[in-house]
A and B are shown apart, each in its own frame.
Chain A
Amino acid sequence: MATELPKTDVVIVGAGWTGLAAAKELADAGQRCVVIERGDWRHDATNFGAPEEHDELKYARRKEHMIDTPTKTLSFRNNSDQTALPMRRLGSFLPGKGLGGAGIHWNGQLWRPLPSDLQMRSHYAERYGESILDGMNVQDWGVTYDELEPHLDFFDRVCGTAGVAGNLNGETQEGGNPFEGPRSADYPNPPMKASPPLQMFRDTAAQMGYNPFHMPSANVTKAYENAYGAQLHPCTYCGFCERFGCGYFAKADPIICIYDVVKDHENFELRMNSQVLRVEKSADGKTATGVTYIDENGQEVFQPADTVCLNAYALWNVHLMLVSGLGTPYDPETGEGTVGRNYAYQTIAAASVFFDENVWSNPFMGAGALGMTIDDFNGDNFDHTDLGFVGGGYISANQTNGRPINYQPTPPDTPSWGAEWKQAVRESYLHHVGIVCHGSSVAVPENYLDLDPTYKDAYGQPLLRMTFDFPENDRKMSAYVLSKAEEIARNMDNVRAVGTVNRAAEGESYSVVPYQTTHNTGGAVIGTDPATSVVNRYGQMWDHHNVFVFGACLFPQNLGYNPTGPLMGLAYWTLDHMKNDYLQNPRPLMDA
C-alpha cells in the first residue's frame, strides 16, 4: 500500500523543458508545484564542464545522459504482422533522463512551425483537394500560428535564439527565411558564424535561386539575459553539443534557463530519482487524483494533487496514459480510440559532400545549431501538384561536430573497413560537410503506440509497443527533397564527390538501430474533435479535465522542423490558459 503524501496543487511528471516551464509559470501563479523526475540532479556548471564532458565514448557511444534501457525501453516492429521485440539497446532515438531531461543534450535547432503546418488538413484540402490526403490521418492542430506566436516569441527570449528574421510583422526581411510566419519581434541575438562549407552552401543555394539563411540557434551568440533574468554566455563552437551537456552556459537548456530561476521559489519542490508509475483516477474516472511513484528510497508513494501535468518524453507520456487507463487506447482495427494514435517520426536523408583539399571544414569546430538552411522545399512552400506526396523538409548544411568515433566520412564506393577505408577517412575528415534533409512525417492508421503483450520493464509494467514504418508518402517526399539537396551539393565548387543516404529509401524499412533523430511525435495529439485527439486545443485531456499534457506527443503529425520550438509554443499556450482561466474555475475548457 502506497504511503499517501500531503496534497499539492499541481504535480508535474518530468523535469525537462516543459516540466520546468510549467513549474515556473504555475509557481509564479501561486500554485504549489511538485516536480517528479526519474533521474539525477545535475547542473551545467558542476556536471557538464570541459574537458571531462568532451568524452565521446562516455556520452555519445555509451549514452550516459540518456534513458537507462534496462529499466525503461519499448518494443518495436515495422508492422502488425510482426512480433514486436524489445529495443534492447538505444539507437534510432535517445530520450533523456535527469534534471533538464533531453533538453540538456539537444542541439538547439530552434524552429517555429509554418502557419500552414498547424492547419495541415484544411490547408492542403483547400489548395489541392481533400483526396491528396487519402490514407492519412493528417489533421489540423486546432490552434493557429497567430495564437501561438506570442508564446513562440517568449520561448525565443527564454533561449536567446540567434538568427535572422525573415518575416517581421509581415514584412519580408533580407537574409532570413522568407517562408516563416510573421514574427512580432526580431531574434534576440545575431546569427551564428558560418564555417567555410556553410558559406559555400549559402552562395550556391542563392545562385540556384533558393533562399538560404542561418539556422535558428539556441546556441547563444552573445551574452544574454533571458526573459526570466537568467544569464547565457556565447557559444565557443566546441563541437560537443548533441548528446552532451554544455558547460559554457551557451546552449539554452532547461537547467540554466528555467530551473535556476525557480529552484528557490516557495511554491517549487523537485523530487529526483523518483519514477512515476501511474496517474490515479477518481472513483467516477472523470478526474485524476494524483500520481503514484517510487521515491528515491524505493518506496511506493502516492502524491495527491488537484492538477496533474504530464511532462515526460513524448513516448513516456503515452505510456503513462496507457498504463494508467487515461483516455481510450487506439485500436487500429476499428480506427477508434485516440491514445497511441498518430504516432509519427522524422524522415531523415542527407547528401554527403567531399571537398578537395582547398576547403577546410575542420568539422570539430561546430555547434549543434550551426547550419545554413533553405526552406524552399519544406511544408507547402512549394507546389505539390502532381508530386504524389504532401509535406517536405528543410535542407541544411550542418556542422555540428567532428567527434571521430562517429564522424568517419568516406566517399561513395569506399570499402567499409581496411586499408582503403582508413586512407579515405584520413583524406576526407577535414574536408567534408553533410547536407541534411530534415523531413516531415505524416500520420497513417498503421503507425501507432500501444502496450506490449509480452515484455515488461523493471517496474513490472508492460513495455510501450511501437508499430512504425515510413509511409509511402514520406518515402516519395524524402527522395524528392534529397534530390534537391544533391543538386545543390553537386553545384558547389571544390567538390570531388557526393554521397547520399536516405533512411526512408524505397525498399528499406525503418530501423531502430542507426541513430536518426530524437523527434518522436504523436500518440496523444491535440485537436478539436475528441474522436481524433486526446487533448483539446488547450492541451487538456478530453476525458479527465484536470490532466494537462505537454510535449511532442501532442503533434497530430510531424512537421519538417525540429520539435522543441513548436512544443514549447504549445506549452506556454497551455500554461497561459491554465493560469488565466482553468485554475480559477477548473472544468473542461472545451465541450466534447
Chain B
Amino acid sequence: MKLARTAILAIASVSLGSAAIVQAQDQTEEPEMSELERRLDVDSVLFNATIKEEPDDDLLELGRLVAMGSSENGGSGMACITCHGVDGEGDGSGAFPRLDGQAGWYMYKQLQDYASGDRPNRVMSGIAQRLTEREREAVSAYYAAMPSGDLDTAHGSMDGTLLQWGGQLAAVGSAEKGIPACVNCHGAQGTGLPPSVPYLAGQYAGYMELQLELWTDGTRDNDAMDVMSTIAKKMTEEDMRAVSEYYARVSNPATDGAEAQAEYDMPAAE
C-alpha cells in the first residue's frame, strides 16, 4: 500500500471537496479578531482550533460571519450568537451549551452529526444542514479559539453531600456501580481532551444533565463506540445531577487568556 503524503495537521483527514469559499465581507476587522489570531500563537489554542488545517485569517473571519448569521449559506438561518451568545457563553437553560474554547474538532463533528441526523436535534439539524463544509469548519475553529474563562453564573444552592458525590464520580468513578471516572477521558480537571473529547468544567449543569439523559435513552449515541451511553445507563438521576452540578462549578482555565498570554510571552520552546 502506498500512503499518500498528507499535508494536513489535524487528524481529521477529510477532503475539502468543493465547499464554497466565502470571502470575508467588507467589514472592518474587529479588535477581537486580532485577539483570536494572537491566541493562535499558543500551541494548545492552535491545536484546539485546528480542524483540518491550521486556521488562517480568512477561516476565522468566515467563522465569525457564520456565528453572526451573515455568511452566504449560514446566513439564511439563525445566527449562533442568538442562542450561544456573542462570546459563545450559551445560557443556563440546559439547551444551549457554552462553546467558547470548546474542542474544535469535537464541535465540527457535532455539526456534521446534526446535519446527518446522527445527533438528532430539530433546531441544530436545520442550521447545520444549511452550513457548507467549510463554514462548519470555520465556525468551529472560531469558537475553539476563544478564551474560555469562568462564567458569572449563579449556581443554585446544592446539597454539599451531593456535590461531593459528584466530585467523587468525576475523579474516581464508582467501583460499586462500575462507573469509570470522568477524568479518564475528559481530562484531569474536566478540561477536555482535544480533538475528540469536550470539556465539562464550567459547562452548564442543566446541559450536561440533559445530555446524560439523552445518552441513557439512546437519543444521543454519536460518540466513538457509544461509550457515553454505556456509562450513563449505569447512573441514577441523582448521579447525573451530582456530577453535572459538580463540573459546572469547576473552574475552566483550559484556554484561558491569562495563561495563554503568559505562554505567549515565553521564548519559543525550540
Contacts and interface: CB of A to CB of B under 8 A. Distances in A.
Interface in A32-57: 43-46, 49-51
B227 A233 contact: yes
A223 B230 contact: yes
Interface string A345-371: 000000000000011100000000000
A45 B1 contact: no
Interface string B224-265: 111101110010000000000000000000000000000000
A230 interface: yes
B181 A223 contact: no
Interface in B1-27: 1-6
B188 to A, nearest CB: 5
A247 B181 contact: yes
Nearest to A42: B175
B31 interface: no
Nearest to B172: A46
A45 B185 contact: no
B185 A249 contact: no
B78 interface: no
B219 interface: no
B145 to A, nearest CB: 24
B222 to A, nearest CB: 14
B183 interface: yes
A15 interface: no
A210 interface: no
A49 B181 contact: yes
Contact of A358 (B4, B171, B173): B4
A358 B3 contact: yes
Given A231-B178, A256-B178, A494-B3, A223 B225 contact: yes
B184 A247 contact: yes
Contacts of B231: 233
A493 B181 contact: no
A532 B1 CA distance: 50
A200 B1 contact: yes
Interface string A46-73: 1001110000000000000000000000
A253 to B, nearest CB: 13
Contact of A233 (B2, B172, B188, B230): B230
Given A196-B3, A359-B3, A45 B188 contact: no
Interface in B159-186: 171-175, 178-181, 183-185
A9 interface: no
A297 B257 CA distance: 54
Interface string B66-106: 00000000000000000000000000000000000000000
Interface residues of A, number: 30
B188 A51 contact: yes
B225 A221 contact: yes
A248 interface: yes
Given A46-B173, A222-B225, A222-B226, A358 B181 contact: no
Contacts of B4: 358
B3 A249 contact: no
A230 B178 contact: yes
Contact of B5 (A51, A222, A249, A358): A358
A260 B187 CA distance: 26
B180 A248 contact: yes
A97 B187 CA distance: 29
Contacts, number: 81
Interface centre among B171, B179, B230 (most CB of A within 10 A): B230
Given A223-B230, A234-B224, A49 B178 contact: no
B3 A493 contact: yes
A259 to B, nearest CB: 10
A189 B6 CA distance: 32
A169 interface: no
B180 A203 contact: no
Given A223-B227, A223-B229, A234-B227, A45 B3 contact: no
Interface centre among B1, B4, B229 (most CB of A within 10 A): B1
A200 B1 CA distance: 6
A233 B231 CA distance: 8
Given A50-B183, A50-B184, A359-B3, A45 B175 contact: yes
B1 A203 contact: yes
Contact of B1 (A44, A199, A249): A199
A234 B231 CA distance: 11
A200 B3 contact: yes
Nearest to A236: B185
Nearest to B183: A49
B3 A231 contact: no
B180 A249 contact: yes
Contacts of B234: 231
B175 A248 contact: no
A45 B225 contact: no
A493 B1 contact: yes
Interface centre among B6, B227, B229 (most CB of A within 10 A): B227
Interface centre among B3, B179, B183 (most CB of A within 10 A): B3
Contacts of B180: 44-45, 49, 233, 247-249
B172 A49 contact: yes
A540 B4 CA distance: 58
Contacts of A247: 173, 180-181, 184
B5 A45 contact: no
A196 B172 CA distance: 34
B183 A43 contact: no
Contacts of A234: 224-227, 230
Interface centre among A230, A231, A260 (most CB of B within 10 A): A231
Nearest to A224: B230
Interface string A494-515: 1000000000000000000000
A222 B230 CA distance: 9
A44 B185 CA distance: 14
Given A223-B225, A233-B227, A236-B185, A45 B2 contact: no
A260 B173 CA distance: 14
A203 B2 CA distance: 10
Nearest to A203: B1
Nearest to A53: B184
A45 B183 contact: no
A50 B4 CA distance: 34
Interface in A272-322: none
A162 to B, nearest CB: 11
A252 to B, nearest CB: 13
A358 B181 CA distance: 37
Given A49-B172, A196-B3, A249 B226 contact: no
Contact of B178 (A236, A249, A360): A249
Contacts of B179: 45
Contacts of A46: 172-173, 175
9 contacts: A44-B175, A46-B172, A46-B173, A49-B180, A199-B1, A223-B227, A230-B178, A233-B231, A236-B185
Given A223-B230, A260-B175, A358-B6, 11 more contacts: A45-B172, A45-B181, A49-B173, A49-B181, A223-B225, A223-B229, A234-B226, A236-B184, A247-B181, A358-B4, A494-B2
Q: Which A-B residue pairs are the 4 nearest by beta carbons?
A: A234-B225, A223-B230, A45-B173, A43-B175
Interface of B: 1-6, 171-175, 178-181, 183-185, 187-188, 224-227, 229-231, 234
